[in-house]
C-alpha cells in the first residue's frame, strides 16, 4: 500500500504551456479529422454547388446541438478512467452495447469500405496518375487497410497523434489560405442565422445534420482512444481500485455507481495530476471542435 501511494505521489505532471498542451492533444484531433471528411469535402461542396450559401445555417445548428454529446464522452473518460462503452455495459440487458455492435458491424461493412476506397482513390490519383507508379486501385486499398489495422493492433497512438497533428495543420492552413484567395461576400454570412430550405434540399440537409462534424458514434471511438492513452484517471484507475479508493468495475456485473471515483480521497498530487489531464482533454476537444467548424 505504501509503494502504491508513493507511486501516486511520483506521477509526472503534464505541462500547462501552449506547446505542452498541444503536444498532449489526441482524441480531440481524431474527432476533428474524422469530421473533416465526407461532410466537409463531399457534402459541403455539393450543397454549395446546388444551393450556393442557402444551407449555411445547418453548420452552426449541427455543431451546437452535437457539442454536448461529444464533450460528454471526453468528460466521462477523463473523470472516471472508463470509456463510454463501459458505461453502456451497466444498462439493463446491456442493450446499448447490442445497438453499438449492430450499427458498428453495418458501418464497418459499408462506411469504412467507402472511406477506404475514397482514400485509396486519392493515393491512386497522386502516385499512379501524377507520378506514373502503375499500381491498381485495389493495391492501395489493401495497403491502407493493413496500415490502419497495424496501427490499432500495435497501439502506437503517439505516432498517429503526431501524424494527425501534421495533417490537421496542413489542412487547416490550406483551407484558410484558399478562402482568402477568393473570399465569400460578407452579405452571405447572414445565411448562418437565416433558415432557408430550398426545394429539393431535404436530403442534403439530412446529410449535413447527420455528418457535421461527424456521426455521434465517433464519440465512442474518441472515448476508447482516451482510455487507451493511459494518462490521467485512465492511468491510475486500476491502481485506485486495487487500493480500495475507487470501486472495482467489472463490465459484466457492475452497476453505474461503480463507475464513479471520489477524487477527494486521492492524494493531493494525484488529484492535481488528474485535474490537469482533465483540463487537457477539455481543451483537446474544444480545439478540435472549433477548427473543424472553421
Dihedral sign from CA coordinates of 67, 68, 74, 75:
positive
Tens-level pLDDT at each residue, the chain (294 residues): 457 778 888 899 998 888 888 788 877 776 666 666 666 666 777 788 888 888 899 889 988 888 888 899 889 999 999 999 999 999 999 999 999 989 888 877 777 787 788 888 888 888 887 888 878 888 999 999 998 888 778 766 677 777 777 877 787 788 788 878 888 888 888 989 889 899 888 888 888 888 788 777 888 888 888 898 889 999 999 999 999 999 999 999 999 999 999 999 998 999 999 999 999 999 888 888 887 787
Q: Is there a cis peptide before residue 253, judged by omega within 30 degrees of 0?
A: no
Amino acid at each position: 500500500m505504501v509503494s502504491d501511494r508513493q507511486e501516486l505521489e511520483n506521477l509526472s505532471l503534464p505541462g500547462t504551456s501552449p506547446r505542452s498542451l498541444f503536444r498532449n492533444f489526441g482524441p480531440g484531433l481524431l474527432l476533428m479529422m474524422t469530421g473533416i471528411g465526407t461532410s466537409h469535402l463531399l457534402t459541403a461542396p455539393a450543397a454549395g454547388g446546388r444551393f450556393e450559401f442557402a444551407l449555411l445555417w445547418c453548420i452552426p445548428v449541427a455543431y451546437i446541438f452535437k457539442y454536448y454529446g461529444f464533450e460528454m464522452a471526453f468528460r466521462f473518460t477523463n473523470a472516471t478512467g472508463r470509456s463510454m462503452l463501459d458505461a453502456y455495459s451497466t444498462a439493463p440487458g446491456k442493450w446499448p452495447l447490442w445497438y453499438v455492435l449492430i450499427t458498428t458491424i453495418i458501418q464497418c461493412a459499408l462506411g469504412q469500405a467507402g472511406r477506404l476506397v475514397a482514400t485509396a482513390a486519392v493515393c491512386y490519383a497522386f502516385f499512379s496518375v501524377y507520378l506514373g507508379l502503375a499500381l491498381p486501385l485495389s493495391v492501395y486499398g489493401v495497403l491502407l487497410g493493413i496500415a490502419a489495422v497495424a496501427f490499432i493492433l500495435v497501439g502506437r497512438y503517439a505516432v498517429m497523434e503526431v501524424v494527425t497533428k501534421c495533417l490537421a495543420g496542413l489542412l487547416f492552413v490550406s483551407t484558410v489560405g484558399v478562402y482568402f484567395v477568393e473570399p465569400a461576400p460578407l452579405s452571405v454570412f447572414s445565411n448562418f442565422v437565416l433558415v432557408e430550405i430550398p426545394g429539393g434540399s431535404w436530403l442534403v440537409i439530412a446529410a449535413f445534420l447527420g455528418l457535421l462534424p461527424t456521426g455521434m458514434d465517433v464519440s465512442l471511438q474518441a472515448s476508447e482512444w482516451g482510455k487507451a492513452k493511459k494518462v490521467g484517471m485512465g492511468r491510475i484507475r486500476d491502481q485506485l481500485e486495487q487500493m480500495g479508493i475507487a470501486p472495482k468495475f467489472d463490465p459484466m456485473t457492475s452497476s453505474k455507481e461503480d463507475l464513479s471515483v471520489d477524487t477527494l480521497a486521492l492524494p493531493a498530487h494525484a488529484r492535481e495530476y488528474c485535474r490537469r489531464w482533465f483540463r487537457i482533454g477539455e481543451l483537446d476537444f474544444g480545439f478540435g471542435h472549433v477548427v473543424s467548424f472553421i
